[in-house]
C-alpha cells in the first residue's frame, strides 16, 4: 500500500495568484474574449468612419481592451460610449494631432525623392525614421494614460515620450510583432486578411498593445502612489484612479 499512499500526500498545490506565462496568458484572454473582441472591432471601425472621431473612438476602444488586458470586467457598449463621451475633447485633439503628424512625416518621406544631395537624403531619411519610431512608440501609451488618469495634454505627451525610452525594447518588440503579423497576413491570406481587418484583427492588435504596455504604466504610475496627491505610499493602496475621482464627484458638497 506504500506505493498508493504516496499519491495521497498533500503536495505544494498551486497558488491562487499563480498565472500562466505572459504569452500564454495573452492568448487565454484573447480566446476567452474572442466574441467580444469581434463586436468591439466592428464597433470601433463604425465610430471611426467620420475620421475626426478616431480619437474619441480609440479612447473607448482602449478602455475595453485595457480592462481585458488587466483581466477586469468591462461592459462592452456602455463603457465604450461612456469613455467616448468622457474623453471626447482631449481624445479629439490628440486624434487630430496624430493624423497631422503621421501625414506630415509621410509627405516628408515622399518629398525626399526631390532632394538632389545624397547626403541630405540619408540624413532626412534618418530623421524621419527616428521621428516616426518615437511617435509610434508614444502612441502605444497615450490613450491608456488618457482614460486612466487626469492629465493635461502636455503631461500626456511628456509621459508618453518618457515611456518611449523607458520601455524601448518592449516597444521595439511589440512593433516588430505587429509588423510581422501584418506582413504575413497580407502576404499569405490575401482578401481574407481584409475580412480579418473588418472583424477581429484591429481588436487583436489593440489587445496586444494594451497587454504589453499596461504593466509598465502600472509599475511607474500606479503602484505605491496616492491617486489624489501623486505621492508614493509606504504600501500599495491603489484602488483605481477612475474610481477615486468618481467618488469625489459623487461626494461633492456643492451638489444639491
User: For the chain, which residues make up each domain, given as ranges?
Assistant: 22-245
What length is written for the chain?
256
Considering only CA atoms, give the Rg of the chain.
22
Residue 229: pLDDT band with limits 50, 70, 90: low
How distant is the alpha carbon of residue 244 from its chain centre? 22
Query: In the predicted model, is pLDDT for residue 86 greater than 50?
Result: yes
| In contact, 71 and 228? CB cutoff 8 Å | no
| In contact, 78 and 43? CB cutoff 8 Å | no
Residue 249: pLDDT band with limits 50, 70, 90: very low
Contacts of 40 (CB under 8 A, 6+ apart): 61, 64, 65, 76, 80, 203
Query: In the predicted model, is pLDDT for residue 28 greater than 50?
Result: yes
Helices (H), 33-53: 34-48
Grid coordinates in use for 71? 483581466
Q: What is the mean pLDDT of residues 10-18?
A: 49
Q: Considering the entire predicted model, what is its pTM?
A: 0.81
Amino acid at each position: 500500500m506504500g506505493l498508493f499512499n504516496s499519491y495521497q500526500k498533500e503536495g505544494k498545490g498551486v497558488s491562487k495568484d499563480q498565472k500562466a506565462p505572459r504569452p500564454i496568458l495573452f492568448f487565454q484572454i484573447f480566446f476567452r474574449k474572442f466574441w467580444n473582441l469581434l463586436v468591439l472591432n466592428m464597433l470601433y471601425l463604425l465610430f471611426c468612419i467620420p475620421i475626426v472621431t478616431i480619437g474619441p473612438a480609440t479612447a473607448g476602444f482602449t478602455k475595453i481592451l485595457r480592462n481585458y488586458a488587466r483581466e477586469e470586467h468591462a461592459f462592452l457598449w456602455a463603457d465604450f460610449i461612456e469613455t467616448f463621451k468622457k474623453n471626447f475633447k482631449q481624445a479629439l485633439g490628440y486624434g487630430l494631432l496624430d493624423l497631422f503628424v503621421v501625414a506630415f512625416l509621410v509627405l516628408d518621406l515622399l518629398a525626399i525623392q526631390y532632394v538632389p544631395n545624397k547626403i541630405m537624403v540619408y540624413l532626412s531619411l534618418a530623421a524621419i525614421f527616428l521621428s516616426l519610431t518615437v511617435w509610434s512608440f508614444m502612441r502605444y501609451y497615450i490613450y491608456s494614460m488618457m482614460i486612466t488618469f487626469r492629465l493635461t495634454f502636455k503631461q500626456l505627451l511628456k509621459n508618453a515620450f518618457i515611456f518611449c525610452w523607458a520601455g524601448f525594447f518592449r516597444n521595439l518588440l511589440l512593433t516588430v510583432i505587429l509588423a510581422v503579423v501584418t506582413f504575413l497576413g497580407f502576404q499569405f491570406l490575401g482578401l481574407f486578411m481584409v475580412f480579418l481587418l473588418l472583424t477581429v484583427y484591429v481588436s487583436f492588435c489593440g489587445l496586444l498593445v494594451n497587454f504589453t504596455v499596461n504593466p509598465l504604466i502600472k509599475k511607474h504610475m500606479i503602484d505605491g502612489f496616492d491617486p489624489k496627491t501623486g505621492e508614493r505610499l509606504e504600501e500599495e493602496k491603489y484602488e483605481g484612479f477612475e474610481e477615486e475621482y468618481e467618488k469625489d464627484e459623487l461626494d461633492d458638497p456643492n451638489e444639491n
